[in-house]
């Protein structure tokens, strides 16, 4: 990538009422009090972070694209970036500080709450990255794809994505295991790209009752928009 950007000063402002509601403990004062205590601790410790860079699409085939000389294999990605010439590979994380803090809990319930707090840290980092990208690159409307969220772009595609990112993830303490899992666990990697078409991975994902769903599943979308070429579904 070129123009690598590192965001390490992201305000960690937890939406405690929103989290209480999401965790369904807003009507339970004792739980709410315990949770607020945890949120207070996390707010003092948490340092969500993000890195991203600019990369150019060298070429495209039916089943993928070549970015900075590295092949990314996904029919859906290939179709989604058909009008783009540049992409923005990124990693965001809740940060090693919160990861260590989260591991200190032995109580199942507190672990679950700590997870929700860490996830919000990751989300704040993602919002900060999108805002920074927009400010610096005037990328306009963008969409995102993440290795591992669709069968079409499986988890092992983390390897080429990290190859494109180079040393950027390590700068914010994120590493990739041999089984393509990131540490800290509450990290998200992917590509953002300019697009005029609204796209969310969830539109192609049939998972039922997913708490993270951002768009309705559209069973006919793959056939309508992405079938063709020799791509695998
Ligand atoms: S529905 Fe859930 S699992 Fe599927 S892509 Fe969306 S967030 Fe991920």
Radius of gyration from C-alpha coordinates of the chain: 19
Using a pLDDT cut of 70, give the percent of the chain over it: 98
Distance from the alpha carbon of residue 23 to the mean position of ligand 1, in angstroms = 19
How does residue 229 score in pLDDT terms, banded at 50, 70 and 90? low
* Mean residue pLDDT across the chain: 93
Say which residues have a Cβ less than 8 Å from residue 49's Cβ, sequence separation at least 6. 6, 7, 8, 10, 92, 93, 95, 125, 172, 173
Alpha-carbon distances of 3 from 55, 89, 112, 222, rounded to whole Å: 9, 11, 37, 34
Distance from the alpha carbon of residue 206 to the mean position of ligand 1, in angstroms = 8
Query: Which residues form ligand 1's pocket by a CB distance below 6 Å?
Result: 149, 201-202, 205, 207, 210, 212-213
CA dist 70 and 163 (Å) reads 7
Alpha-carbon distances of 144 from 34, 99, 168, rounded to whole Å: 36, 24, 18
Cut 0.95: pTM above it: no
End-to-end C-alpha distance for the chain, whole angstroms: 28
Please answer whether residues 5 and 136 qualify as being in contact, where contact means their C-beta atoms are separated by less than 8 angstroms.
yes
User: pLDDT of 39-89, one tens digit each?
Assistant: 999 999 999 999 999 999 999 999 999 999 999 999 999 999 998 999 999
Whole-number pLDDT of residue 227: 87
* Among 188, 204, 212, 219, residue to substitute to test ligand 1 (most atoms within 8 Å of Cβ): 212
How does residue 233 score in pLDDT terms, banded at 50, 70 and 90? very low
Distance from the alpha carbon of residue 149 to the mean position of ligand 1, in angstroms = 7
For residues 42, 147, 9 and 124, what is the CA-based torsion angle, rounded to 10 degrees?
-50
Whole-number pLDDT of residue 218: 94
**Residue 231 predicted with pLDDT over 50:** no
User: pLDDT of 16-46, one tens digit each?
Assistant: 999 999 999 999 999 999 999 999 999 999 9
* Among 205, 216, 218, 219, residue to substitute to test ligand 1 (most atoms within 8 Å of Cβ): 205
Q: Give the mean model confidence (pLDDT) for residues 201-207.
A: 92
């Amino acid at each position: 990538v070129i123009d690598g950007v590192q965001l390490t000063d992201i305000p960690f402002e937890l939406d405690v009422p929103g989290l209480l509601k999401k965790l369904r403990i807003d009507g339970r004062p004792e739980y709410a009090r315990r949770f607020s205590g945890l949120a207070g601790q996390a707010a003092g410790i948490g340092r969500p972070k993000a890195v991203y860079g600019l990369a150019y699409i060298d070429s495209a085939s039916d089943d993928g694209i070549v970015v900075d000389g590295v092949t990314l294999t996904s029919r859906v990605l290939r179709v989604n970036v058909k009008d783009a010439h540049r992409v923005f590979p990124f990693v965001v994380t809740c940060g090693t500080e919160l990861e260590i803090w989260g591991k200190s809990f032995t109580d199942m319930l507190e672990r679950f709450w700590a997870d929700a707090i860490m996830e919000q840290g990751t989300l704040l980092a993602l919002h900060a990255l999108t805002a920074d990208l927009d400010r610096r690159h005037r990328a306009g409307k963008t969409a995102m794809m993440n290795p591992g969220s669709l069968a079409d772009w499986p988890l092992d595609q983390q390897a080429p994505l990290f190859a494109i990112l180079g040393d950027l993830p390590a700068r914010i303490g994120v590493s990739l295991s041999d089984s393509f899992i990131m540490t800290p666990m509450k990290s998200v990697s992917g590509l953002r790209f300019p697009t005029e078409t609204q796209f969310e991975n969830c539109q192609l994902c049939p998972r039922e009752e997913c708490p993270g769903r951002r768009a309705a599943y559209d069973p006919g979308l793959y056939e309508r928009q992405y079938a063709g070429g020799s791509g695998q579904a």
